[in-house]
Each structure stands twice: as structure tokens, then as C-alpha cells.
Amino acid sequence: MIPVLSLLLVVTFSILVTRIAAIALRHTGLARHTARFQARSAFTGAGFTTTESEKVVNHPVRRRIVLTLMLLGNAGIVTAVSSLILAFVRDGGGDGWPLALKIALLVAGLLGLWLVATSRWVDRLLSRLVERALNRFTQLELSDYEGLLHLAGEYRIAEVAVEEGGWLADRPLSHIRPAEEGVLVLGIASPDGAWLGTPQGDTRPQLGDTLVVYGRTEAIRGLAERRAGDERDHAKAVADQGRVAGEERRSRRGPSGLEGSPP
């Protein structure tokens, strides 16, 4: 029975470590689903070969988190496998506990751990505890960008490539007028790796550049797919943004007509 309990403890430890690491990664700016995927991939050693992996390995804090997960994961997986083997094959299972009871306890324990791991209440509690610990023991600047920018809804941060014949190519931002469509240009990355943050209106995106933008998904998609000279599509996007902005302002006012009143 001790190997079964050891296995459950190892699984509990694994869930706790990956959850803490995912929260820490999330507070470095990664989206929630990305942080969880990268934490689990690093801990299990499955490898994180997505394009998002560059955002991890090129960030010093995220890289330290992932390296720690890799070390802990190697020990945890070996221990879990060893405990599983000992639980069912050691001395032919002759430790006084029926095999059926062992299996039942193992399944019940794993089910309970799965319920705890998927609990939103547990996630919120762990998030608060991890934030306090990181604030106290590290110099990590905590910023939940996903929550701050409401990226779980219609809004998101995206990369838009500047392509030949596109609306964005070889014209200053003051002519492109993305803000009129509700899209903010946060920065421009050049093919050689150069970065220009908060570009001004006289900045002219070049072919091969990548614009990092923030706005509604539909508005960003329209901006990325529009061809040069398509003023009609631009006018429609501006009108759509005006309608959306009006709805958002009304929702802030609430039924009393005062901004900030509860809905």
C-alpha cells in the first residue's frame, strides 16, 4: 500500500509544481493556455516545439522556470513509474492488501487529484499564494497581461505581417489610420530583429516588418487581409468600430446613464 500512497504523493507534487509554474509563467505575460501547455511540456519532458517556445527560451525568467521544471520532472516521472511498479509487482503483490483494493484506491485517488487540479477555486487560491510568494522572495514583476487587456474576450494582441500589395505596406501610420478601426500598433519588429516601440504617425512600415497590435480580433483580421487602396473596406471598419465603441460606452454608463454605474 505504501507504493500506492507514494505514487499519489508524487502525482500531487507534479500537479502542484506544474500549476505553480504555469501561474508564474502567466504572470510574465504568457496567455493562460500557453503557460499551462509550456509548463506541462517542460515537466513531462515531452518537448515544447511550438512557435511559442521561443517566447519562453528568449525570456530569462521564463527560461529559469522551465529549466527548474525539467529537473523536477525527470525525478518525478522516474519516481512515479517506480512506485507504480512496486505497487503491483513487488513480491507478487503479497503485502497483505488485495490487488483489487489497490486498484480501487489508486483510481479514487487519481480521480480526486484530477478534480482538485481542474478546480477554479483551487486555481484562484494558488494564484494568490504564488503572487504573494513571488512578491516576497523574487524580483519578478507580476503583470497578468491576459486579465489586464481582457484577452479572453474579443480583444487580443497579435502579429500582423507587412506584405506586398497589402494595406499596411510602405505608407506612414498616419495614412493607414489603424486607430480609427480600433487597432493600436504597440511596436514594429524588423526582419533583422530591430524593434521600434510605440511608433508615431510618421513611421512607415516596410515589407517584411511585423506589426504587434492590440484590438478586437475581427478588426485585426480585417486590417491584415485588406489590400492597398481599399478605402471602402477601411470606411466600413471605421463605422464598425464606432458602433462597438458606442456599445462599450453605454455598457459603462449602465441603466442610470452615469459612467461607471453597475449594469
Q: What pLDDT, in 10s, does the model give residues 157-194?
A: 888 899 999 999 888 999 988 999 999 999 999 988 88
Sheet holding 195-197, edge to edge: 155-161, 210-216, 184-189, 195-197
State pTM to two decimals.
Answer: 0.51
Using CA atoms, how far apart are residues 158 and 142, in angstroms rounded to an integer?
Answer: 21
Is the pLDDT at 61 greater than 60? The verdict is yes
- 206-242: buried (b, 16+ CB within 10 Å) or exposed (e) per residue? eeebebbbbbbeebbebbbebeeeeeebbeebeebbe
pLDDT confidence of residue 180: 92
Average pLDDT for 208-233: 90
- Residue 76 sits at φ, ψ, to 5 deg, of -65, -45
Average pLDDT for 218-231: 89
What stretches of 177-230 show up as alpha helix (H) in DSSP?
A: 217-225
pLDDT confidence of residue 150: 63
pLDDT confidence of residue 183: 93
pLDDT confidence of residue 262: 46
Is the pLDDT at 48 greater than 60? The verdict is no
Of 220, 188, 213, 182, nearest in space to 203 by CA: 188
Is the pLDDT at 263 greater than 50? The verdict is no
| 26-44 pLDDT per residue, tens | 777 676 777 778 887 777 7
pLDDT confidence of residue 62: 74
β-bridge mates for residue 213, sequence order? 158, 185
Q: Which of 32-36, 65-69, 72-76, 129-133 has the least mean pLDDT? A: 72-76
Q: Which of 192-196, 214-218, 252-256 has the least mean pLDDT? A: 252-256
Identify the band that residue 119 occupies on the pLDDT scale cut at 50, 70 and 90.
confident
| 86-108 pLDDT per residue, tens | 555 554 445 566 667 667 776 77
Question: Where does residue 175 rank: exposed (0-12), middle (13-18), buried (19+ CB within 10 A)?
Answer: exposed
* Greater model confidence, 151 or 240: 240
